[in-house]
Amino acid sequence: MATAVNKPLPIVVLISGRGSNLQSIIDAVAAGELPVEIRAVISNRPDARGLQRAAQAGIATQVIDHNSYPDRAAFDAALQTTIDDYRPRLVVLAGFMRILTPAFVSHYRGQMINIHPSLLPEFPGLNTHQRVLDACRKETGATVHFVTEETDGGPAILQTHVPVLPGDDADSLAARVLEQEHRMYPVVIRWYAEGRVQLDPEGRIRFDNAPLERPRLLDSEAGAPC
């Protein structure tokens, strides 16, 4: 059961590219469907299209270029300092193409989520859609999960299933999966803002104060979580 939200949840969104998932979040906030305040959008790439999307929506932007730092730890330290300046209660990875150090992940334990274009734990990492096709799978999907030290290995909150159609290539499959991602991410962020989903001290998800034994599913027909 949803709980009342007195103040919008402050969030920071991290991106590396065009920011289409970011746009779905911006649109949900603008429509009054998502009780959050996007305090900043931060990119590791100065040419990321998503920075323009954020600026057009009046959201603060920052660039922390990973090429300006000698190693991953130094980059993550600078990124963490920048994020913390905005005092978010949730960090949202929306196409952020960097592997994060354990220290960084630990700092945001239970307060950082990611979306991945497969039915995790299957096909973590990159080139997901081509790997699905190469494996001759009839179905794929997307997963929203808490971020842990294992890349794409954190506990899954919500999944949706997408059929692999005859004649699909990686681009056509990616486009259909991305449509579902745009629907999923605002749902999970709203759950978090409402206090419905959290990560317990043992690293397990609790949903509506009960253990979540398996990821929730998004019904692609009805457009509602089931």
Active site (catalytic) residues: 116
Spatial CA neighbour of 147 closest among 187, 208, 96: 96
**What is the residue type of 119?**
L
**What are the CA-CA distances from residue 144 to residues 116, 147, 193 (Å)?**
6, 9, 15
b vs e for 194-206, b when ≥16 Cβ sit within 10 Å of the residue's Cβ? bebbbbeeeeebe
ω into 121 cis (within 30 of 0): yes
Q: Which residues share a beta bridge with 198?
A: 206
**What is the residue type of 17?**
G
Tokens standing for residue 139? 């179905």
Task: Give 154-212 as a DSSP string.
Answer: SPEEEEEEEEPPTT--HHHHHHHHHHHHHHHHHHHHHHHHTT-EEE-TTS-EEETTEE-
